[in-house]
Amino acid sequence: MKGRPPPKNDAPRGRKPAAPGKSTGGKPAGSKAGFGKAADGKPSGGARSFSKPSGAPGRARGGAKAATARKGEGGKPAFKAPFKSGAKPAGKPAAKAAVAKVAIVPSTPAKPSVAKGVSLDVRQYRVQPDDDGIRLDRWFQRHLPDVGFNIVSRWSRTGQLRIDGARAAPGDRVAEGQMIRVPPAEAKATAAERPKRARVIDLTEDEIAFVQEMVIHRDAQAIVINKPPGLSTQGGTRTDEHVDKLLDGLMFDSESRPKLVHRLDKDTSGALLIARTSRAAAHFAKAFSSRTARKVYWALVIGVPSISDGMIELPLAKQPGTGGEKMHVDEEEGLPARTRYRIIERAGNRACWVELQPYTGRTHQLRVHLAAIGHPIVGDGKYGGKDSFLTGSISRKMHLHARRIRVDHPDGGRVDVMAEPPTHFAASLADMGFDLSLGDMLLDDEIDRTPTREDEKKFARQHAKQVRKDRKGERRSRGGSRDE
């Protein structure tokens, strides 16, 4: 009965008496014998043995509950065989089973949400000619602006960023044709598509028209303007109007802003070369540094040099006490500077028109060199003082003009452009009676050195004369040896 220990009978100790028509294992008669026992003879499943009667009501109630739980509907036993490996044990709390069900991880991970246009694969990019020689971080700024410098640095530290298979750093320079390996893009949680930022041209219509009127040459890689006197090339202290500010007006159909390649002094007029692409800027800069670019200037100078075609070689340095605004000749600490000059025409001994070719690019080189030999440029009060001005109708503006520029083109051939002199310069030349057609002299490499028929005859006569002299000297030497 419930709440009492099992009665003593002939059954083995620790076993309940078998119910009529049922086996000792709690199974109906006819089942396999010994199913309720394990191999070692211990009771199996939920059967509990009692070694001695206990009067504790709690324990008795627990045993009764266990016996009741073993019965199913209709009085059928609810006993189950011991669980095997891989099967869940019966009697586990329902709450734990629910937790285990939630913790199951699917075998195929869910794909992350990828922003539009973002690739999760390794990307390969080939360096184009326009990017030759630039830093790797600058390359990312141009072509992958969404990838910040910190990400590029992290990719470099972890070895994911490579150039032609080798590890690369943000400061490395890339070369045309190299292959850049870029790791997969990092997917963002919220990837809102940003509209492309358009360049804002902060110029008035008059300023755009003004700078475009200066253009005397334009192609896909280069622009040449005829800079007027009084306009600076770049900005500085108390300088608000300059060519660099107006470059946005020279974009035309290009998406990139033009770039300055060299500069002219504020009061110097003439041809100024501007690159339209990064590749062209690097090409032109190399041409100027290697002295393959040729520049020709016109100038009116005071007096007439004694040598009509000469070379000025005087080292230049910044003059102390001028804040770097003025240069002077310094034989000890100056940098080498060379200027070739040729007299085109002369107006008596008062002034002359000269052609200048700078072989180096020092600041104010032409002005300092001409002042150093005693023939300052007309209107250059900074280096010539009061002696650099002419009386009469000659303008007091500086008479130095960049007449011609010649440089190799990035796509082959040459950029060879001439700029017309400004109004005051042309008026001074006319007042002095100079002929403008005489100003464009050939450069040394443009002069045809092929000997003419007259040159060949002259050379033959000189050679024959030398041969006769040698023979005559040989006969004299023979006669002197006989007398001895």
Q: Flag whether 380 is in a domain.
A: yes
Q: Which two tokens stand for residue 289?
A: 């540094």
Q: Flag whether 451 is in a domain.
A: no
Q: Which two tokens stand for residue 200?
A: 């804002």
Are 155 and 213 found together in one domain? no
Taking a C-beta distance cutoff of 8 angstroms, is the pair 179, 163 a contact? yes
- Provide the domain count of the chain: 2
Q: Which long-range contacts (CB under 8 A, 24 or more apart) does 105-112 make?
A: 112/187
By annotation, the residues acting in catalysis are 265
Are β-strands 400-408 and 294-302 bridged in parallel, bridged antiparallel, or unpaired? antiparallel
Q: Flag whether 39 is in a domain.
A: no
Query: Any idea what the CATH number is for the domain that residue 152 is in?
Result: 3.10.290.10
φ/ψ region of 321 (left if φ > 0, alpha if ψ in -120 to 50, else beta) reads left
Are 378 and 424 found together in one domain? yes
Alpha carbons 155 and 167: distance in angstroms, whole number: 10
Q: Flag whether 40 is in a domain.
A: no
Are 276 and 130 found together in one domain? no
- ∠ CA(353), CA(354), CA(355), 5° rounding? 140
Are 210 and 247 found together in one domain? yes
Are 169 and 212 found together in one domain? no
Are 221 and 157 found together in one domain? no
Q: Which two tokens stand for residue 468?
A: 């006769």
pLDDT of residue 196: 55
pLDDT of residue 415: 96
Amino acid at 59: R
Alpha carbons 201 and 118: distance in angstroms, whole number: 31
Q: Flag whether 52 is in a domain.
A: no
What is the domain range of residue 227? 205-445
Are 157 and 279 found together in one domain? no
Q: Flag whether 161 is in a domain.
A: yes
Are 305 and 386 found together in one domain? yes
Are 143 and 228 found together in one domain? no
Are 166 and 284 found together in one domain? no
Distances (CA, A) of 335 to 151, 269, 365, 368: 44, 25, 11, 13
Alpha carbons 170 and 43: distance in angstroms, whole number: 75
3-state SS string for the chain: CCCCCCCCCCCCCCCCCCCCCECCCCCECCCCCCCCECCCCCECCCCCCCCCCCCCHHHHHHHHHHHHHCECHHHCECCCCCCCCCCCCCCCCHHHHHHHHHCCCCCCCCCCCCCCCCCCCCEEEECCHHHCCCEHHHHHHHHCCCCCHHHHHHHHHCCCCEECCEECCCCCECCCCCEEEECCCCCCCCCCCCCCCCCCCCCCHHHHHHHHHCEEEECCCEEEEEECCCCECCCECCECCEHHHHHHHHCCCCCCCCEECCCCCCCCEEEEEEECCHHHHHHHHHHHHCCCCEEEEEEEEECCCCCCEEEEECCEEECCCCCCCCEEECCCCCECCEEEEEEEEEECCCEEEEEEEECCCCCCHHHHHHHHCCCCECCCHHHHHHHHCCCCCCCCCCCEEEEEEEEECCCCCEEEEECCCCHHHHHHHHHCCCCHHHCCCCCHHHCCCCCCHHHHHHHHHHHHHHHHHHHHHHHHHHHHHHHC
Amino acid at 292: T
Q: Flag whether 408 is in a domain.
A: yes
Which parts of the chain register pLDDT below 50?
Answer: 1-2, 11-12, 14, 17, 19-119, 189, 191
User: How do residues 401-446 score in pLDDT, each as one tens digit?
Assistant: 999 999 999 999 999 999 999 999 999 999 999 999 999 999 888 8
CB neighbour list of residue 129: distance below 8 Å, 6 or more residues apart: 176, 279
- ∠ CA(324), CA(329), CA(335), 5° rounding? 75
Q: Flag whether 403 is in a domain.
A: yes
Are 391 and 424 found together in one domain? yes
pLDDT of residue 458: 83
Alpha carbons 348 and 390: distance in angstroms, whole number: 14
Are 178 and 210 found together in one domain? no
